[in-house]
């Protein structure tokens, strides 16, 4: 290349000679008398450049003479560099539109013919180099590498052709493309064919490729079997896809030339002709075709499914893919429709979509399932039809069921939890305002998640339960006692379904969670005035508490949940309520630790006094609970004295005092000022006792309670009169 720079200086010298009266024609004749052919032709090209610029002869005649004279060097490497130099010095002197060398008989076609002829001769020289690759393997490999490095010398001719302004679509279609393709096909060299086709695809405008698609695709089937045709087709489709995405105005052109039909036909032929093509190669072609389809024909779901179906056909009879490159391409193929439409529902209508997913290994299948769920959550997509829910759960089956061949200890706990949380969130996105369709959706989800096993159900069942309870709230206005031909979706039918679902969870076992869900259902049944149903849910909660909840801390939490739920229930008659409250108070008194017993028992006092329900105001039983709690607190103090040598803090007494004050203000006649006075004195005595353990929190609690009593006394009115007898 440095020699070319030096020759550029020589060209300037010849120009100066011309300006000083030396005839360029004489110079052109003179240099042809040089002794050696290679220097002679370099000099001829240099002077020829000056000759054209002088305009003393038509450019086309000089160019034709130069390209013919260069035939004199047939050594491949020397000939390549010579013709490369010819291309370099002549590229700015071609008779192009708007060029100073156009006219006088010189046309764009002359420029095209010159470049095509030079390209053809250079390609022949380049291809001949393969026959000179002889000797041992390492030497032959080195020679092939050198040949590959020289490819740009040939490819520059195509770039020059693409830069000629006068080469419009007609000239390209009638002259340029046939000439280039003829040379590409006839050279029968795999390296040359691949490189030149790649150049052709890259350097010419997209619209030219679109309008000559049939010829371009037809040549692909004529290339050598060793040429990577799939890569060429992928590059072509990528360019056309980007062209389609550049402006909506160009889309009619694609429809006019039936681009999808031609591309898909070409791809099927290539894949059928190359039976040995690796799966990853075929799938990469489908990815490119699908990308093209989604950009050009986004509304043609049948085209999208056709591409997916072709992929299924290619994969049929093969085991699940384990090649990471192939699975990556499958993920790209499946992700493309989701990313394009931002709507998983449209993907769910594609029959071949789940069939493609079946060929993914378990790990990649789960990865793809998460992509689907994340798309639903990101785009806030609500899936409203039960049949689509069925398809969706078939797609994400790897997340909702145990996979054969993977042991539980192989699963990363953090990843597993995140996967199941995603499924749980997904369930809330399955919703329809029509109760009948919503019930079908709930049943479809139940069918799929119930086989999830003990590790998955604690994540997925709560979401399904609350989804069903949302429907129950919607149906509260319906009569819960409908008989005969019931409506497809009624609260009673839903509660039957919920009972089955939670029962499966309780057998996992996950008793604490099942107990919470039973209580939620009981409250919902109460709101629907279904007393027998609510009672049955409470019964199941108590059974779980008795038989399954063994941990003492879990028992404390569970009994407080039961008490809290039962306190809010107003649907029960006297008999049922008495039975349940008796159970709750009984279990409260049987907790392991005394302070837990005390707190649970005084919490039970609220079961007998409900503010907004006149039928539940049993002051005597409230007082019994408070007195029982007080006895338990005393027992706790005595036990602490025996075991630790000092009584515990007065926290329990202060808590009970606040309960007394609550019911005193609510008007419970059994809770008197004298009882409160006695309890205040008891607390003061305990705090002053040397055996009592000092606790800042307990002291602060009591110190805060005393001013409250004083405040109520000073407030006056009926409440002030009630508090007046109490001395603090």
Cα–Cα distance measured from residue 589 to residue 622, given in angstroms and rounded to the nearest whole number: 15
Residues 228-236: what's their mean pLDDT? Answer: 91
Q: In which residue are the tokens 């075991």 written? A: 643
Per-residue pLDDT tens digits for 572-617: 999 999 999 999 999 999 999 999 999 999 999 999 998 877 778 9
Residues 521-534: what's their mean pLDDT? Answer: 95
H helices of 204-278, in order, are 206-211, 213-220, 229-246, 251-257, 259-273
> End-to-end CA distance of the chain, in Å?
107
pLDDT value of position 482: 46
Percent of the chain with pLDDT over 90: 56
pLDDT value of position 481: 46
Q: Check pLDDT > 90 for residue 194.
A: yes
Q: Check pLDDT > 50 for residue 692.
A: yes
With contact defined as beta carbons under 8 Å apart, do 306 and 320 qualify? no
pLDDT value of position 147: 83
Task: Judge if pTM exceeds 0.85.
Answer: no
Q: Check pLDDT > 90 for residue 452.
A: no
DSSP state of 453: -
Residues 180-184: what's their mean pLDDT? Answer: 94
Cα–Cα distance measured from residue 535 to residue 526, given in angstroms and rounded to the nearest whole number: 9
Percent of the chain with pLDDT over 70: 92
Residues 190-199: what's their mean pLDDT? Answer: 93
Per-residue pLDDT tens digits for 623-652: 999 999 999 999 998 888 877 766 667 899
* Poorest-pLDDT segment among 23-27, 367-371, 450-454: 23-27
Tokens, residue 635: 């027992």
Q: Check pLDDT > 70 for residue 682.
A: yes
**Residue scoring higher pLDDT (183 or 20):** 183
Question: Within 10 Å of residue 713's Cβ, how many Cβ atoms?
Answer: 18
Per-residue pLDDT tens digits for 11-68: 666 665 655 556 677 777 877 877 788 888 888 888 888 888 888 888 888 899 999 9
DSSP state of 175: I
Cα–Cα distance measured from residue 468 to residue 465, given in angstroms and rounded to the nearest whole number: 5
Phi, psi of 647 (to 5 degrees): -70, 155
Highest-confidence range of 148-152, 328-332, 401-405, 576-580, by mean pLDDT?
576-580
Question: Within 10 Å of residue 647's Cβ, how many Cβ atoms?
Answer: 20
Cα–Cα distance measured from residue 355 to residue 643, given in angstroms and rounded to the nearest whole number: 70
DSSP 426-444: HHTTB--SSHHHHHHHHHH
Cα–Cα distance measured from residue 235 to residue 270, given in angstroms and rounded to the nearest whole number: 15
Whether a cis peptide bond, with omega within 30° of 0, leads into 195 is no
Whole-angstrom Cα Rg for the chain: 44
Cα–Cα distance measured from residue 538 to residue 532, given in angstroms and rounded to the nearest whole number: 10
pLDDT value of position 9: 58
Per-residue pLDDT tens digits for 143-157: 778 888 888 999 999
**Residue scoring higher pLDDT (31 or 245):** 245
Cα–Cα distance measured from residue 230 to residue 220, given in angstroms and rounded to the nearest whole number: 9
Cα–Cα distance measured from residue 116 to residue 105, given in angstroms and rounded to the nearest whole number: 19
């Amino acid at each position: 290349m440095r020699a070319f720079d030096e020759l550029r200086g020589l060209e300037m010298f010849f120009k100066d000679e011309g300006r000083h009266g030396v005839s360029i024609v004489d110079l052109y004749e003179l240099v042809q008398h040089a002794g050696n052919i290679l220097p002679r032709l370099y000099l001829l090209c240099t002077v020829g450049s000056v000759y054209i610029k002088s305009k003393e002869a038509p450019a086309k005649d000089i160019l034709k003479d130069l390209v013919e004279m260069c035939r004199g060097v047939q050594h491949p490497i020397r000939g390549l560099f010579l013709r490369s130099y010819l291309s370099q010095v002549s590229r700015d002197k071609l008779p192009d539109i708007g060029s100073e060398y156009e006219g006088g008989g010189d046309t764009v076609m002359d420029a095209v013919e010159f470049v095509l002829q030079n390209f053809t001769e250079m390609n022949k020289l380049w291809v001949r180099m393969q026959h000179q690759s002889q000797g041992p393997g390492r030497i032959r490999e080195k020679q092939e590498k050198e040949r590959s490095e020289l490819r740009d010398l040939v490819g520059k001719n195509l770039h020059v052709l693409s830069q000629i302004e006068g080469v419009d679509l007609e000239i390209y279609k009638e002259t340029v493309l046939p000439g280039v393709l003829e040379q590409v096909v006839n050279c029968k060299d795999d390296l040359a064919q691949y490189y030149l086709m790649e150049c052709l695809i890259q350097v010419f405008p997209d619209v030219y490729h679109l309008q000559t698609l049939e010829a371009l695709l037809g040549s692909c089937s004529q290339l050598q079997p060793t040429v990577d045709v799939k890569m060429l087709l992928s590059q072509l489709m990528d360019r056309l896809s980007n062209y389609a995405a550049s402006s909506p105005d160009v889309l009619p052109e694609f429809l006019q030339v039936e681009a999808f039909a031609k591309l898909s036909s070409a791809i099927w032929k290539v894949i059928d002709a190359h039976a040995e093509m690796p799966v990853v190669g075929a799938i990469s072609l489908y990815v490119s075709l699908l990308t093209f389809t989604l950009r050009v024909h986004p509304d043609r779901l049948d085209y999208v499914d056709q591409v997916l179906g072709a992929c299924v056909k290619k994969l049929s009879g093969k085991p699940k893919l384990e090649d990471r490159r192939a699975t990556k391409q499958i993920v790209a193929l499946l992700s493309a429709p989701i990313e394009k439409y931002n709507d998983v529902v449209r993907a769910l209508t594609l029959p071949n979509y789940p069939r493609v997913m079946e060929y993914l290994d378990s790990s990649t299948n789960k990865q793809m399932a998460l992509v689907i769920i994340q798309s639903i959550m990101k785009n806030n997509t609500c899936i409203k039809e039960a049949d689509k829910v069925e398809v969706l759960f078939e797609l994400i089956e790897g997340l909702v069921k145990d996979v054969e061949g993977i042991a539980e200890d192989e699963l990363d706990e953090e990843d597993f939890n995140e996967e199941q949380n995603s499924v749980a969130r997904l369930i809330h996105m399955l919703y329809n305002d029509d109760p009948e369709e919503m019930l079908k959706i709930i049943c479809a989800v139940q069918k799929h998640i119930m086989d999830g096993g003990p590790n998955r159900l604690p994540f997925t069942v709560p979401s399904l339960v609350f989804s069903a309870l949302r429907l129950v709230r919607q149906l509260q206005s319906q009569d819960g006692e409908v008989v005969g031909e019931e409506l497809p979706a009624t609260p009673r039918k839903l509660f039957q379904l919920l009972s089955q679902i939670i029962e499966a969870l309780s057998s996992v076992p996950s008793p604490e969670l099942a107990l919470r869900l039973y209580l939620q259902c009981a409250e919902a049944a109460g709101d629907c005035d279904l007393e027998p149903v609510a009672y049955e849910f409470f019964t199941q909660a108590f059974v779980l508490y008795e038989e399954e909840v063994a941990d003492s801390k879990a028992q404390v939490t569970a009994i407080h949940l039961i008490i809290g739920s039962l306190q809010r229930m107003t649907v029960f008659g006297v008999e049922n309520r008495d039975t349940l409250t008796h159970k709750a108070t009984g279990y409260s008194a049987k907790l392991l630790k005394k302070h837990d017993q005390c707190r649970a028992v005084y919490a039970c006092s609220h079961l007998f006094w409900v503010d907004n329900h006149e039928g539940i105001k049993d002051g005597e039983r409230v007082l019994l609970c408070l007195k029982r709690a007080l006895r338990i607190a005393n027992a706790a103090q005595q036990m602490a004295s025996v075991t630790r040598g000092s009584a515990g803090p007065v926290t329990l007494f202060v808590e009970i005092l606040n309960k007394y004050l609550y019911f005193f203000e609510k008007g419970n006649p059994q809770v008197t000022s004298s009882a409160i006075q006695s309890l205040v004195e008891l607390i003061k005595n305990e705090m002053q006792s040397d055996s009592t353990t000092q606790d800042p929190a307990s002291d602060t609690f009591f110190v805060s309670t005393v001013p409250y009593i004083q405040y109520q006394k000073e407030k006056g009115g009926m409440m002030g009169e009630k508090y007046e007898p109490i001395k603090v």
